[in-house]
Amino acid sequence: MDALLVGLGNPGPEYATHRHNAGFMALERIVARQGFGPAKSRFRGMTAEGRMGESKVLALKPTTYMNRSGEAVAEAMQFYKLQPQQVIVLYDELDLAPGKLKVKRGGGAAGHNGIRSIDAAIGPDFWRVRIGIGHPGHKDLVHGYVLHSFAKAERDWLDPLLDAIADEIGVMVEGKSELFMTRVAAKLAPPKADRPAKPERPAKEAL
């Protein structure tokens, strides 16, 4: 196995459409669009295997609940003898505007319980694909906000973003994080409108 893709979320149908499950949604879209194999229950989670270019990739959805995600990630890493830099974690990010995407390796948890759990289990040196969900405006509103379904209007930006992530994630697996972000942004850019033709100047009358 060359890479471990991890989506963060909470298991169970009651959580499936919550903002906190954006990582699960992204991983599910990747598995579907990249033609991964059938789902299997392993490593305290649900897994699927696939290939991206020359790389063999394991997709993992921990079923431990968010605050124990690191247990599943550590088990899969140990089994395949992977290093933290071979792990790519997709998750929701309050501090990014809705529909924005940021990628970085290492860093802090910024209050995200899933990332805090993974940090504790394997250290901080893994890749983070942060899916912006926006902030409700006050810290007291955060819990209810993330554990609530995306509004219908939000699907207008969420679905294209998940599709773009799924289509371009192979670039991220190759370690080309900047190119990954560039390609996702290009897929989401509105089409350029054709410039209207300049009106013809009237011919000057002969003197």
Structure tokens at 147: 């554990």
Average pLDDT over residues 4-33: 96
Asked if 84 contacts 12 with a C-beta cutoff of 8 angstroms, the reply is no
Instruction: Please write the tens of the pLDDT for every residue from 50-90.
Output: 999 899 999 999 999 999 999 999 999 999 999 999 999 99
120 phi, psi to nearest 5 deg? -65, -30
Instruction: Please write the tens of the pLDDT for every residue from 187-196.
Output: 998 777 656 6
What span, in angstroms and rounded, lies between the C-alpha atoms of 4 and 83?
10
- Distance set, CA 159 to CA 20, 87, 150, 165, 187 (Å): 15, 24, 11, 10, 12
Options 3.40.50.1470, 3.40.1280.10, 3.30.160.270, 1.20.140.150; CATH for 3-188 is 3.40.50.1470
Q: What's the chain's average pLDDT?
A: 92
- Distance set, CA 195 to CA 11, 192, 198 (Å): 49, 9, 9
Residues in Cβ contact with 113 at an 8 Å cutoff, skipping those fewer than 6 apart:
66, 67
The residues carrying an active-site annotation are: 20
User: Side-chain half-sphere of 121: how many Cα atoms within 13 Å?
Assistant: 22
Percentage above 90 pLDDT, the chain: 87
Chain centroid to CA 32: 14
pLDDT of residue 207: 46
Domain boundaries, the chain: 3-188
